[in-house]
Amino acid sequence: MADLLLGQVIRFDGDPFAQPDVAQVLTEGGVLVDQGRIAAVGQAADLRSRHPQARVHDHGQKLISAGFIDAHVHYPQTAIIASWGKRLIDWLNAYTFPEEMRFADPAYATEIAGRYLDLVLARGTTSVCSYATIHPASVDAIFTAAQTRGMRLFAGKTCMDRNAPEGLRDTAQSAYDDSKRLLEKWHGMDRLSYVITPRFSPTSTPEQLAALGALWREYPDCLMQTHLSEQTDEIAWVQDLFPQSRDYLDTYEAQGLLREGAVYGHAIHLTAREKSRLIEAGASLVHCPTSNTFIGSGLFDMSLAQSLRVGLATDTGGGSNFSMLRTMAAAYEVAQLRGQSLHPSQLWWLATQGSARALRCEDRIGNIAPGMEADLVVIDLASTPAIEQATRRATDLWQQLFPTIMMGDDRAVAEVWLGGRKAEINQTL
Ligand code: GUN
Ligand code: ZN
């Protein structure tokens, strides 16, 4: 039986960074969901009369949106989120690598994978693109947890063959072999996609990057994810490690790791050459604003969204929060520091269609349109007294929505739908 969700509906007819007024708001709208997909979107009264058999879920003034898509996370860092006092390289050595070692135990990987997905679902995130650890079983754990919950999920084995502790290193050959085996096992199964995942140039030899570049040529429809130009110390280290390279991006480009489908996290301190090559190649960038402030990395240049696919992400656990609402708020604040005021429609788009475009799945998820997969979030725009009082004088949806973007948390998430089914969310998480 079809389901009809009624409320205020937000959807996009284009990219609000390219043209204004592409966001559409239906104040008395509805979304018809059938067999896992969105069957229709329109006025509530119209949909009610045309589909009298549908089961009605009336959400009143609540906002019905595509679910949030978190385009860059490390699910194995769930337990070390909000670790104090370090910048990137020290933070990796002090907190991240010791925690990632624990994923040698598949039972621990399974426990954290399930906990992580329940945490993000309770915050309205319906898809993520995650790094696992170097352990193949950590990839099995996150894909199995996503499959059980019916989530569309992107993930891959993190590859590192140098500058990481014993126990967290593979080799060029084993990274290739393990990645290929996992890719063949999971890619395209249900709603799962394998992502080729060299961690970043400092922890991969040129031989490992080349092996993963070769693998990517064999499976060209996969995504490839890595980190790029996050901190200035890291960039100086890359220069020492790769003296022949023109710049950080060149360490990837030289090994076949730059083209459409490449997804680079952070990308803050880019040179003019790097920007123009990224644009020419049609690569994607992911903005991780809570991480970039928390680890002290820098302020992403949002004007890049005019010429590149840019997604939004928490970067759990370098980021300081699991919530994409908090992440939108941080993106707003970072842009303010660079003299740009992002419109609420741009923030909302980044967390839905923007991330979907960065992951090249915008025809399936991240918007409300007939034929798209029914991953939805229902948002209470008056979820706390503090937010409610800030919306009282609102004269349009954007004024009504902005206090939730800036101050909202898991209490704002009333309902989540995954592939046309209402998800069980655990709001005690
Ligand atoms: N660069 C390489 N690995 C990582 C990581 O785990 N988190 C962040 N924020 N940056 C990285
Ligand atoms: Zn990262």
**Same domain, residue pair 256 and 395:** no
- Write the DSSP string, 147-200: HHHT-EEEEE-EE--SSS-TTS---HHHHHHHHHHHHHHHTTSTTEEEEEEE--
C-alpha count within 13 angstroms, C-beta hemisphere, residue 363: 1
Report which ligand 1 atom has the smallest distance to the Cα of 319: 9
Say how many Å lie between the CA of residue 77 and the centre of ligand 1.
10
Answer yes or no: are the C-beta atoms of 152 and 361 closer than 8 Å.
Answer: yes
Phi, psi (5° rounding) for residue 62? -65, 160
Q: What is the pLDDT of residues 261-301, one digit of tens each?
A: 999 999 999 999 999 999 999 999 999 999 999 999 999 99
**Which residue's CA is minimally distant from atom 3 of ligand 1?**
199
DSSP 254: T
**Which residue's CA is minimally distant from atom 7 of ligand 1?**
318
Domain-located, residue 428: no
**Same domain, residue pair 56 and 100:** no
Domain-located, residue 45: yes
Domain-located, residue 427: no
Domain-located, residue 312: yes
pLDDT < 50: residue spans in the chain: none
Last residue of a domain, which of 358, 390, 408?
358
> Pairing relation of β-strands 55-66 and 3-12?
parallel
**Same domain, residue pair 142 and 28:** no
**Same domain, residue pair 227 and 159:** yes
- Buried/exposed 82-94: b ≥16 CB within 10 Å, e otherwise: ebeeeebeebbee
Domain that holds residue 295: 68-358
Domain-located, residue 429: no
Given its phi and psi angles, is residue 209 left (phi above 0), alpha (psi -120 to 50 degrees) or beta?
alpha
**Same domain, residue pair 283 and 329:** yes
Whether omega for the bond prior to residue 420 falls within 30 degrees of 0, making it cis, is no
225 CB under 6 A from ligand 1? Answer: no
**Same domain, residue pair 255 and 161:** yes
Q: For the chain, what is the largest distance between any 2 Cα atoms, rounded to a whole number of angstroms?
A: 68
CATH classification at residue 90: 3.20.20.140
**Same domain, residue pair 168 and 246:** yes
CA distance 107 to 109: 5
pTM metric for this prediction: 0.98
**pLDDT for residue 426:** 83
Q: What is the pLDDT of residues 188-201, one digit of tens each?
A: 999 999 999 999 99
Residues 6+ apart with CB under 8 A from 69: 125, 126, 127, 128, 129, 311, 351, 352, 355, 356, 359, 365, 366
CATH classification at residue 418: 2.30.40.10
Question: What beta strand segments (E) does 294-338 contain?
Answer: 309-312
Domain-located, residue 320: yes
**Same domain, residue pair 195 and 331:** yes
**pLDDT for residue 20:** 86
Based on DSSP, count helices (H) and strands (E) in the chain, helices before strands. 16, 16
199 CB under 6 A from ligand 1? Answer: yes
Ligand having the closest approach to the CA of 88: 1
**Same domain, residue pair 263 and 295:** yes
Answer yes or no: are the C-beta atoms of 308 and 283 closer than 8 Å.
Answer: yes
**Other C-beta atoms within 10 Å of 22: how many?**
16
**Same domain, residue pair 128 and 113:** yes
**Same domain, residue pair 43 and 141:** no
Last residue of a domain, which of 318, 338, 358?
358
**Other C-beta atoms within 10 Å of 301: how many?**
19
CA distance 345 to 343: 5
**Same domain, residue pair 330 and 385:** no
SS3 408: coil
231 CB under 6 A from ligand 1? Answer: no
Domain-located, residue 78: yes
72 CB under 6 A from ligand 1? Answer: no
User: What total number of domains does the chain contain?
Assistant: 2
SS3 413: strand
Say how many Å lie between the CA of residue 85 and the centre of ligand 1.
15
Torsion of CA 94, 135, 351, 48, to 10 degrees: -140
> Quick one: which of 387, 322, 331, 335 has its CA closest to 68?
322
Last residue of a domain, which of 322, 337, 358?
358
Task: Name residue 223's beta-bridge partners.
Answer: 195
Report which ligand 1 atom has the smallest distance to the Cα of 288: 9
